[in-house]
């Protein structure tokens, strides 16, 4: 019993800071939207669309953070810390190189990103200002992804949390000063919001480097090893493709729900925002499972890695299950926090009722996928998640739109798909094939 308690404590010690780190990122986004919303509706819409595009950047960042996490956790488990430090250095260089084309594209082609969505001229102008300014942060953002993943691979998740908290505090001050022109700053409006974010990202990167410099666990070793880069890319590319292919599926689902009217779409968006809060613990346990599985395999203890993965899966299922129960039992009360439109509340309530039931299988999907990625089994997770979402969720939902008159059926399909995908991932994990994968 003591061993079980220690195992769960270790899992929670890694997972909860990661969950709160994710919350801090959400808070920073909400604060930016809150300040910008005081300028004008156009500015609010422009930043909202811009943030949808910046979210796509994280799909590209999976090229660096998955490879970093898998290799560093393995080397940490096998006590090859010089190799771990070399991996971080190599992935920093790689992340910088791949960030440059994205930076220059956003810098010089930002208007295209808004014109293809058919936004008005004012939104194109304001959005271009935001994206072109934000683009200067991309090299630092990608490097930060490597440094963040390296620490997570060691289980040092409190450090990124503290850095994120300090960054949020600075962001609030800079937003207030630079958007509205306080304390001698010119009133820059939407450009001030983007510039504040850029400054915070560079600040966080500097702090990460300082933490590595003084770390007793890992140091950045400035020695380039092409074999490490190849190994990192090998496990990261499937995860990258998964993000690229999976992310549009959520946009397509929104389009399908929109066929049932604006109230259905509004309720769906409210439901998604609420469900996003339930996802935060799951995200934390993804990082824990990736790190612990990689460490266990690196130490030559695959059975321990398996036990850690199950502990993370059970813990995430309990926490997300409780949140899902609240969504199912109190859907109206929760939805009213976000809107007072009765039709929107009704639609959001149905989403929360149905998707609340799926929180346990979703927790299993999150953590088992993370465990398999931590083992380097990224080809399989890519295939399972991409095929399941598009063939078992999007395709049936699309077909149903021709026969049903209520978005409830779309949500039921999503719930069923989550259950099926969880079962498939569990079967793959229980097969144990991931224990012998070389990375």
pLDDT, tens digit (0-9, with 9 covering 90-100), for 226-257: 999 999 999 989 988 888 888 778 778 877 88
Tell me what pLDDT residue 138 has: 94
> How far is residue 211's CA from residue 164's CA, in Å, rounded to a whole number?
13
Tell me what pLDDT residue 81 has: 94
Q: Which residues contact 378 (CB under 8 A, 6 or more apart)?
A: 66, 235, 236, 237, 238, 239, 242, 372
pTM for this model (two decimals): 0.86
> How far is residue 319's CA from residue 136's CA, in Å, rounded to a whole number?
38
Query: For 115-127, what is each residue's pLDDT tens digit?
Result: 776 666 777 788 8
> 3-state class of 313 per DSSP?
helix
Do 138 and 106 form a contact (C-beta atoms < 8 A)? yes
> How far is residue 308's CA from residue 297's CA, in Å, rounded to a whole number?
11
CB atoms within 10 A of CB 111: 15
Alpha carbons within 13 angstroms on the beta-carbon side of residue 178 total: 18
Tell me what pLDDT residue 271 has: 83
> How far is residue 150's CA from residue 142's CA, in Å, rounded to a whole number?
13
Do 352 and 331 form a contact (C-beta atoms < 8 A)? yes
Residue in the block written with tokens 């398996």: 306
Tell me what pLDDT residue 312 has: 94
What is the mean pLDDT of each successive set of 10 residues along the chain, which is 439 residues long? 70 89 81 77 71 75 88 94 95 95 89 72 82 92 95 93 94 92 88 93 97 93 93 90 81 82 79 81 88 94 94 93 94 84 87 93 95 93 93 93 90 95 97 91
Tell me what pLDDT residue 117 has: 62
Q: Which residues contact 122 (CB under 8 A, 6 or more apart)?
A: 42, 46
Tell me what pLDDT residue 97 has: 95
Q: How many residues does the chain have?
A: 439
For 325, counting Cβ atoms within 10 Å of its Cβ (0-12 exposed, 13-18 middle, 19+ buried), the class is middle
Tell me what pLDDT residue 84 has: 95
Tell me what pLDDT residue 1 has: 45
């Amino acid at each position: 019993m003591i061993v079980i308690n220690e195992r769960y404590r270790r899992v929670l010690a890694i997972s909860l800071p990661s969950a709160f780190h994710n919350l801090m990122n959400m808070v920073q986004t909400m604060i930016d939207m809150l300040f910008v919303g005081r300028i004008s509706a156009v500015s609010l819409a422009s930043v909202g669309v811009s943030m949808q595009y910046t979210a796509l950047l994280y799909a590209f960042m999976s090229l660096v953070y998955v490879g970093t996490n898998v290799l560093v956790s393995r080397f940490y488990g096998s006590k090859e810390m010089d190799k771990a430090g070399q991996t971080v250095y190599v992935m920093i260089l790689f992340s910088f190189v791949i960030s440059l084309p994205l930076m220059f594209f956003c810098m010089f082609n930002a208007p295209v990103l808004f014109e293809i969505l058919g936004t008005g001229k004012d939104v194109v102008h304001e959005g271009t200002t935001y994206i072109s300014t934000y683009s200067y942060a991309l090299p630092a953002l990608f490097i930060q992804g490597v440094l963040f993943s390296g620490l997570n691979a060691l289980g040092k998740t409190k450090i990124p949390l503290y850095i994120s908290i300090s960054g949020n505090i600075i962001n609030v001050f800079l937003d207030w000063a630079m958007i509205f022109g306080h304390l001698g700053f010119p009133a820059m409006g939407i450009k001030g919001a983007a510039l504040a974010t850029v400054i915070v990202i560079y600040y966080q990167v500097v702090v990460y480097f300082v933490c590595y410099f003084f770390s007793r666990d890992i140091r950045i070793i400035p020695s380039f090893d092409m074999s490490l880069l190849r190994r990192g890319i090998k496990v990261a590319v499937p995860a990258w493709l998964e993000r690229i292919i999976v992310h549009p599926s959520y946009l397509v689902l929104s389009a399908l729900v929109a066929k049932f009217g604006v109230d259905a779409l509004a309720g769906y968006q409210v439901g998604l925002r609420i469900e996003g809060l339930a996802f935060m613990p799951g995200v934390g346990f993804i990082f824990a499972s990736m790190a612990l599985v990689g460490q266990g395999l690196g130490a030559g203890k695959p059975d321990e890695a398996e036990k850690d993965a199950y502990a993370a899966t059970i813990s995430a299922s309990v926490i997300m299950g409780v949140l899902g129960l609240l969504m199912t039992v109190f859907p109206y009360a929760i939805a009213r926090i976000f809107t007072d439109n009765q039709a929107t509340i009704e639609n959001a309530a149905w989403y929360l009722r149905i998707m609340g039931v799926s929180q346990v299988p979703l927790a299993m999907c999150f953590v088992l996928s993370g465990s398999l990625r931590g083992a380097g089994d990224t080809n399989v997770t890519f295939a399972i998640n991409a095929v399941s979402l598009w063939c078992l969720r999007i395709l049936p939902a699309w077909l149903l739109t021709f026969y049903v008159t209520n978005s409830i059926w779309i949500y039921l399909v999503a719930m069923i798909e989550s259950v099926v995908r969880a079962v498939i991932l569990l079967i793959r994990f229980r097969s144990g094939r991931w224990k012998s994968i070389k990375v």
